[in-house]
Amino acid sequence: MSATPAQRAVPTEKCPHRSGAADGPQLTDLLENPRGFVAAVRSAEEVVAIRLGSRKLHLVTSPDLVEQILVDEATKFDAGSAPDGPGPAFGHGLAACPGSVRAARRRVIEPAFHWSRLADHARIAADTAAEAAGSWTDRTELDIPREMTHLSLATITRSLVAGPAGLELTRALRETLPAMLDDLPGLASAEPPLRPTPDAVRTALAEALDHRRSSPEHHTDALSLLLAAQGEAGGSALTDDEIAEELTGLVLAGTEAPAAVLSWVLHEVSRRPDIEERILAEIAEVLGDRPPTAADFTALLYTRQVVGEALRCYARPFLLRRASEPVLLGDRRLAPGDEILISPYALHHDPGLFPEPDCFDPYRYNGPAARRMLIPFGSDDHGCVGAGSAWQGTTIALVALLSRWRFLPVSDQPVQPVLGRTVRPNRLVLAVSCRPGPPSSGAGAVVNAPQ
């Protein structure tokens, strides 16, 4: 089944554009409208200097130079200080560590997201989504961003901290997460203040550490890897506070972005019956009446394309990188320490790379531009450590939700993107309608309790 041109040309929601060219490199213009700003200055300069308080940022507008930074010469750049992740708001976790410490910490954490653990992550994603779907009632109107935040929080927390301790940590975070996310710095926060982790979360983290140290069971989750990191991070063992900071940062980053992507996918599916029909046909063909697993991820080609197109349309607004050695970027010579700003959101809406960029077209995902320039998580060693797991988990969760429920718009009000650390809907309420069939079978069934 293929979509007609009319079906494939449904515009995505977009931020209001200012008319006319930008009258100079103003940070406020960039923050309010990165697409319009980058498009306005691209023809004049490939690298534009912008001030952020006392900091000078080099905004890169050229796709070729972005590829140089993230791919060809990635070893010449470190991660910036913000806004790639939670940053130092709740301590100096992976996203806010200096280069040498960050590299050591990343080596410790990466095995938790290794391909060999994808089966566990997929099971947790499927089970958590099925639990969420089982808690809804027919014809209920749902605050979709809120529901997807709770779902993503449970998924990432149970993946990082296996067993009952993960469930307790999820409960503690569920109460405090909205305030914690609100406290995270954005690009305009030149020197974000350090905030204490809420007491309930610190208590749950401390109990998780005590439980894991006394448990004879072997785990390969992030908590166990961090506890085993004796001498791996900068030459000394990680303290309990540092482990707590790492877990908190991973949970926040692994909640906010997947929740936004799932929200946008459900928004698009709710107004595109052709997309919904094609996903359901693929689910029936690939899964039949069984739940999804990691082994199904490759075969769920069209569903992955839908998620990929959402990642293109609603990519994070900004990435920061910092030169670690002298480098020539176009005609601009950068010194060590110079900071570079990239806007995946603007790049993904460049009509030179993605024709009709405001149209939500899952079929474009396998095109050459998508393979080269789809960078929702960053594409270098400083990008999201759990990118592969996040993409898989989002796809698996989507399958579990759509197998059981239809999502229906309840308002004609346009849904507007709000730009922050992610691109999230300003308001998205959808009604759920139960699909025929017993809830205990099919892709929405719970196979195993999350571990």
Which residue has better confidence, 443 or 435?
Answer: 435
- Residue that wins the pLDDT comparison between 143 and 203: 143
3-state SS, residue 77: strand
pLDDT at 152: 94
C-alpha distances in Å from residue 316, one per residue of 166, 209, 385, 398, 423? 28, 33, 15, 20, 6
Tens digit of pLDDT for each residue in 243-283?
Answer: 888 888 888 888 988 999 999 999 999 999 999 999 999 99
Six-digit token string for 412: 């004609």
CB 294 within 8 A of CB 312: no
- List pLDDT tens digits, range 23-58: 445 566 677 777 777 777 776 788 988 877 677 889
In 3D space, the residue among 354, 257, 352 whose CA is nearest the CA of residue 312 turns out to be 354
pTM score, whole prediction: 0.82
Q: How confident is the model at residue 231 (pLDDT cuts 50, 70, 90)?
A: very low
Task: Read off the tokens for 380.
Answer: 């270098």
Q: What is the mean pLDDT of the chain?
A: 78
Looking at residue 296, its pLDDT comes to 94
Contacts of residue 319, defined as CB under 8 A and 6 or more positions apart, other chains included, come to 80, 84, 341, 342, 343, 344, 375, 378
Domain residue spans of the chain: 37-434
Average pLDDT over residues 283-287: 95
Closest to 247 (Cα-Cα) out of 86, 15, 399, 67: 86
Span 37-434 CATH architecture: Orthogonal Bundle (1.10)
Percent of the chain with pLDDT over 70: 71
